[in-house]
């Protein structure tokens, strides 16, 4: 079991003062525990720092732990280890990182664009070989 997350850590989390590894651990814990999410909300409100709520601060905090484009690609293909995949899921759904959402949408459109073309090419090859077979049958 890893060290328990106390209010001090939550404050550091909100202040953007955690190292990346610790940040990932806190985010994972937040995802798993609604009790911890409520506590984070308390800490956030007691802290009384208006700067914290700016979009810039949220953006910066989220971007710190963004997966790479390559990881997002593997995520789409379901080729990541479950822990990383669930982290990315959290990053997209809970943090709603606009940068990664855009990146993922872009990757997704590339994948869906690629597959019909591949199918089309396969169909063309199939049709031309059927034609060849037909000719052979007639002669």
Q: Is 5 or 67 the residue whose CB approaches Zn ion more closely?
A: 67
Other Cβ atoms within 10 Å of 112 Cβ, number: 9
Q: Is 46 or 68 the residue whose CB approaches Zn ion more closely?
A: 68
Residue 92 contacts Zn ion per CB under 5 A: no
Closest to 22 measured CA to CA, from 85, 71, 64: 64
Residue 97 contacts Zn ion per CB under 5 A: yes
User: Looking at 4-12, 21-29, 41-49, 65-73, which segment touches Zn ion (CB under 5 A)?
Assistant: 65-73
89: its two tokens: 């899921």
Residue 66 contacts Zn ion per CB under 5 A: yes
- Give me the residue whose beta carbon is nearest to Zn ion: 97
Residue indicated by tokens 């007639």: 138
Residue 24 contacts Zn ion per CB under 5 A: no
CB of 100 to Zn ion, least distance (A): 3
Tell me which long-range contacts 27-31 makes (C-beta under 8 A, separation of at least 24): 27/65, 27/87, 27/90, 27/91, 27/95, 28/87, 28/90, 29/5, 30/94, 31/86, 31/90, 31/94
User: Looking at 18-26, 73-81, 93-101, 123-131, which segment touches Zn ion (CB under 5 A)?
Assistant: 93-101
- Residues of this chain that interact with Zn ion (CB under 5 A) are 66, 97, 99-100
């Amino acid at each position: 079991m890893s060290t328990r997350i106390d209010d001090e850590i939550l404050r550091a989390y909100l202040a953007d003062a955690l190292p990346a590894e610790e940040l990932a651990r806190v985010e994972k814990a937040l995802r798993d525990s609604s009790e911890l999410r409520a506590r984070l909300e308390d800490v956030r409100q007691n802290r009384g720092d208006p700067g914290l709520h700016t979009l810039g601060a949220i953006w910066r905090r989220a971007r710190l732990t963004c997966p790479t484009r390559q990881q997002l690609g593997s995520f789409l293909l379901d080729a990541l280890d479950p822990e990383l995949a669930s982290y990315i899921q959290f990053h997209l759904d809970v943090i709603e990182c606009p940068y990664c959402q855009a990146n993922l949408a872009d990757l997704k459109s590339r994948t869906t664009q690629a597959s019909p073309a591949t199918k089309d090419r396969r169909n063309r090859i199939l049709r031309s070989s059927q034609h060849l077979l037909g000719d052979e049958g007639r002669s």
